[in-house]
Structure 1
Amino acid sequence: MAKAKQLPTFELINKYNEETEKQHEVAAKHREEVTHAQALVQALNFRYEEAVKDAVVNNADNAQLVDELSEQLTKAERDLANKKRMQQVAASYNKRTITRKDVERELKTFQNTYQSEVMKPAMKELRKAKEAYISAYLDCARKVAHFDEQARHAFITVNPSYKGYNVPYSVGFTTRDDVSSKSLTDADLRELSRGLQPSSLKPLMRAVREASGRIYYVPVEGDNE
């Protein structure tokens, strides 16, 4: 079994995800800036109110501190307003160019292309493999039947009193393992329907793992008969 051919991928979803990630990064950046600005305003407002309270209640000589905190608070509130406005503007400009409908529409096109360019040739090869398998299986059956006829005729000729049907000579499959390793079984078909390498063939195949983690199988060296 040759190395599997690289299959086409739906690239638009990667661009869609890139835009989504960019949106999240921009939103997170402005959200963090607004959060920090709000925290600063709250901290300065608390200090300002405490200074004013100290001046009124305790007659503290802190007019300069009150003025400084007032200026800092005004500046922080102005900065917070600016940060919020930038967050709003960023949200309005941070629009995606690829929409959900774009993805769904292109996915339908990808489906049609994949069906015609990938699946149609693959199904054709599968049909050829099916015909070859059936032909080989029927050829084996014909040859077994021919031997059975020859053996029965010869054995009955030299044993005219033998009343049985089967004679002690046979060819073809000799064991259950022989059957499963050289023909398709129900178990093989069940595993194939799940996209799995049939267990009956694994002793004849060698697993190869790609860097991506995907596994495919190639024939082992030596005689597999």
Structure 2
Amino acid sequence: MARRDNSEINAGSMADIAFLLLIFFLVTTTMDVDSGISRKLPEKNQNPEETKVVIKEKNVLDIVVNRNNQILVEGTDYVQVKDIKKIAMDFIDNGGGLGNSVDGQPAKECDYCQGAKNPLSSDHPSKAIISLQSARGTTYGMYVSIQNEIEAAYNELRSQLSEKLYGVSYDQLLKDYNDNGGEKLKARIDNLKDKYPQIISEPEPIK
């Protein structure tokens, strides 16, 4: 009886199939991309002997987030994330004193502030500092949510002043400038940023 040879499997196209499957999964798979917070770092102090600025305690709004994601304002009041924007706006726009002296000119009161002018709160938007400190156990999502509320407070104040001065919102000014550019729009945006400068301090996390 004749011996039959074992048939061989043609594996020549297996590599091609595996390659096509790899391409398919690469194209169809979505990858999560972590997003960060855009912040401009302070410039290096060129003059180490420069006199340090004395900051009044009332010009600093302390916000602390503990490891349980609880938010404590001024060391006494526990608040929710949704409350941060209003608290920050009231603090920044208080206008309870004089601003910074510019080009040797005497310091002036804030003539555009709509706040309560509480003498125990911030003197001027140019002096108002928001200190946001977190614990090492604070979740990233909570930290970003608070940052968003603080930024929304600044944008809302700028928008209110923009409506009063230019008849359009701050967001619309930014959109028009991004679409069309122009020195006039840039000057208006810079003016609003100067009126309400975004000053945020981020101390080392609590252990």
The two structures have a TM-score, normalised by structure 1, of: 0.19
Q: Which structure shows the bigger proportion of residues in strand conformation?
A: 2
Q: Which structure shows the bigger proportion of residues in helix conformation?
A: 1
Q: Which has the larger radius of gyration?
A: 1
